[in-house]
Amino acid sequence: KLNIGVDIIQHGVEGLVYLLTESSKLMASIPFHKEFGDTLKRCISEVDFQDSIHVLGFSDELNKSLLQLYLDNRKEIRSILGELAPRLPSYHSLEWRLDVQLASRSLRQQIKPAVTMKLHLNQNEDQTAQVLQTDPATLLHLIQQLEQALGEMKMNHCRRIVRNMK
């Protein structure tokens, strides 16, 4: 009926879906209790959405239609995206043990340390346990890498990215 190729229609629908999902995913922080610095999370505002689609070069009528479509459906899109998000396991507790082999039949004087950890996780109301074993040098390296990652998360650039991901 439209005399338009299937590829053009498919790309248009995919672009519209991308625009609506990304706009619904982005969160803006609004302070609502100045005394405690609490923030309220909500979808991007109408002005931000209009600024985002203005650069696409559409007509004013189409921009208004897209804005109305976004306003009508953003809550439903956010709820669907929330349901589709993967449910990752969360930390519950950790048990650990240090084993040291001091000698064996063939080597009477050897020191072979090993750290054994039992990591208890919660996932969807179920508890699971993972047993991990490593040597102390690898464990120290892992600790240094995690501390470095935590240090980087405190940087302003990373905070902005994480805030926009929520």
pLDDT, tens digit, 9 for 90 and up, residues 70-80 = 888 888 888 88
Handedness of CA 57, 60, 63, 67 (dihedral sign): positive
Verdict on whether the full-model pTM lies above 0.75: no
Higher pLDDT, 95 or 25: 95
Partners of 121 in the beta sheet?
91, 128
Read off φ and ψ for residue 3, nearest 5 degrees: 55, 40
Work out the pLDDT band at 165, boundaries 50, 70, 90.
Answer: low
| Distance of alpha carbon 119 from alpha carbon 142, whole angstroms | 15
